[in-house]
Amino acid sequence: MIVRSLGLVEYAPTFEAMRYLTDTRGPYTQDELWLCEHPPVFTQGLAGKAEHLLAPGEIPVVATNRGGQVTYHGPGQVVAYPLLDLKRRGYFVKDLVYRIEEAVIRALRHFGVTGHRVSGAPGIYVKLNDPFAHSILLQKASMPKKAGEKIGVTEIGVRPNFEGLGKIAALGIKVSRHCSYHGVALNVAMDLGPFLRINPCGYAGLPTIDLASLGVNATPAMVAVVLSDKLQATLG
């Protein structure tokens, strides 16, 4: 696939460029992977609810057509957008999500951090008390939904159990005519304060973490190279 390093770019025009490429691509259009950072912005997914935006303040809010709820993008976070023809590659949306998550797990492993999946909550998480431990994460039972609680992607009466975990990578995908865009955001060395202004991905109180907070000395540029390599491997 073609890999493009875009640098620091505004979110809205990047979103429109992804959508345009997807809407106009043909059966022989080459797949692409875009890597970038965004200035501070909250993005609201299709399932987004206004109550999850607690205090956006001066940070703009952009409605977008990816799946999921609200998240934050800002400098010091590596964002990767795979623009893929899934039909040509021969896998479905769930496969795509798994492959992107696997690439993030492998990228974190490169820096000594163990990433984990949580059932029912796309993205990658780390154990806050020992992010470098190699033990697997035993999937804990889902927690009953509290009275009146809005829990994010689903309203099924339970919520994933995030006890002892912090979210380090958020994921949101859009598929149109068997082609995907949007992608994953991996927190490297950023101001985490804006995450306190939202319920990240629709989950109140979900801690958000970055590599710098874990003691990993890596720049976004370094992480972007590693993540790009891992994504090309897992998506191939």
Which residues are bridge partners to 180 per DSSP?
84, 175
Q: Clarify whether 36 is annotated catalytic.
A: no
Burial class from Cβ neighbours inside 10 Å (0-12, 13-18, 19+) for residue 157 reads: exposed
- Mode of pairing for the β-strands spanning 143-144 and 121-127: unpaired
Six-digit token pair at 111?
């820096």
Given the residues 170, 201, 211, 227, the one annotated as active site: 201
Q: Which residues are catalytic?
A: 201
